Amino acid sequence: MVAQYEPSTPYGAPMSHDVVWWEIETPDPAGARAFYGALFGWTFERAFDGPESELGGDYWLIRRGGDGAGASIGGLQAALPGRPPPSAGVRLYVEVDDLEATVERAAALGATVERGRTLLGGDDFWFATVRDPQGVSVGLWTSRPPA
């Protein structure tokens, strides 16, 4: 395995229930890599390939940073054959510096804007959501007020 798991809770202690991994499942892995690479500067490293892998297909580690040396933060995989697109699921939120600029860049890269800047209660946090060109809904999150 290319990624090394480090538990957030010592063995024997009560579980923290932290999110330890996330994945984007997409019918178009190449398109998704291009979209997320351009939007967030993520790089991708092939981890598994082909039906012989336990995951059953094309699998990529997502890394932060353009040089590919950053830590693995998640995975991207081809949707398994015959599997319908999800109608429900978990939405990932990515923290960004400039919410409006990121929404505009996502739209220019082919995303559909689902929701523009929205204040989350009275907590001084804002979010927006976009649907990537492959149909996956992604949240964008910031603590920076509008300019």
* Averages of pLDDT over each 10 residues, the chain, 147 residues: 49 60 86 95 81 62 76 82 64 90 97 91 82 90 87
Looking at 80, 102, 137, which one is the last position of a domain? Answer: 80
pTM of the model: 0.72
The predicted structure's pLDDT at residue 147:
80
The predicted structure's pLDDT at residue 39:
95
Torsion sign over Cα 139, 145, 146, 147: negative
119 and 145 both lie in a single domain: yes
CATH number at 145 reads 3.10.180.10
Residues 46 and 77: their CA atoms lie apart, in Å, by 10
The answer to whether 58 and 64 have CB atoms below 8 angstroms apart is no
Residue 86 in any domain: the answer is no
95 and 67 both lie in a single domain: no
Residues 50 and 54: their CA atoms lie apart, in Å, by 9
The predicted structure's pLDDT at residue 2:
46
The predicted structure's pLDDT at residue 20:
66
Q: In the structure encoding, which two tokens stand for residue 117, read together?
A: 């800047």
Name 45's Cβ contacts closer than 8 Å, sequence gap at least 6: 2, 60, 61, 63, 68, 72
What residue numbers bound the domain in which 74 lies? Answer: 9-80
CATH number at 32 reads 3.30.1900.10
Computed on alpha carbons and rounded to an integer, the radius of gyration of the chain in Å comes to 17
The Cα angle at residue 76 between residues 133 and 127, in degrees rounded to 5: 60
125 and 75 both lie in a single domain: no
